[in-house]
A and B are shown apart, each in its own frame.
Chain A
């Protein structure tokens, strides 16, 4: 059974540009969450999607957005990149939300560097 797949693994962008990251969850998982990991702030929740609907959102500016497609694949977009957006972006999928939870399975992440 394939795990959570994130693409690309590495990305270098210039300040002011925008970027789109992709996440394919485990087959059958309908919930996809995104997290930002930085040395200074640690792991912070960005948003969570379930059945193409955003169910929960973290405390990030509107430059950070996401969506989920009918096949549960998810994308997150960051517009007008800032140096502080440099981070490891992790995607996680889970089988259900709001009920019994067997844990979140994470992808290997996308390392974004803004120069």
Chain B
């Protein structure tokens, strides 16, 4: 079965610091997509970053970057220079045959 595991239910970080959220997944596919989504209190799921498995280079979007370890099936998200607006639930997701399988999420709190 395809699964996505986020082992950190909650994390906190001080403003301007760096934080890393962990995610591991299980898949039998050779090519696939991985995503990190952010869900603030407004409820809307916002795409933070995506990674194509066949690309060895780690994806980067401004302050957000990933550490993609395909052999280890690990896909962690690094947030640099954390901002108060980064406070949200973060979900790791794996795309499997046209559907997303989500992890249980990590609640990130950024403190001033």
Contacts and interface: CB of A to CB of B under 8 A. Distances in A.
A15 to B, nearest CB: 24
Interface stretch (B12-20, B80-88, B94-102): B94-102
A108 B44 contact: yes
Chain A CB within 10 Å, residue with most, of B37, B99, B102, B103: B99
Tell me if B's interface is mostly helix, strand, loop or mixed: strand
A48 B97 CA distance: 10
B104 A42 contact: yes
Given A42-B105, A43-B91, A104 B100 contact: yes
Contacts, number: 51
Contacts of A35: 100
B45 A92 contact: yes
B99 A45 contact: yes
Nearest to A42: B104
Interface of A: 31, 33, 35, 42-43, 45, 48, 50, 55-56, 58, 88, 90, 92, 97-98, 101-109, 111
Interface of B: 33, 35, 37, 42-47, 50, 91, 95, 97-105
10 closest A-B pairs (Cβ-Cβ)? A106-B45, A43-B102, A45-B99, A103-B47, A108-B44, A97-B98, A109-B43, A103-B50, A56-B98, A42-B104
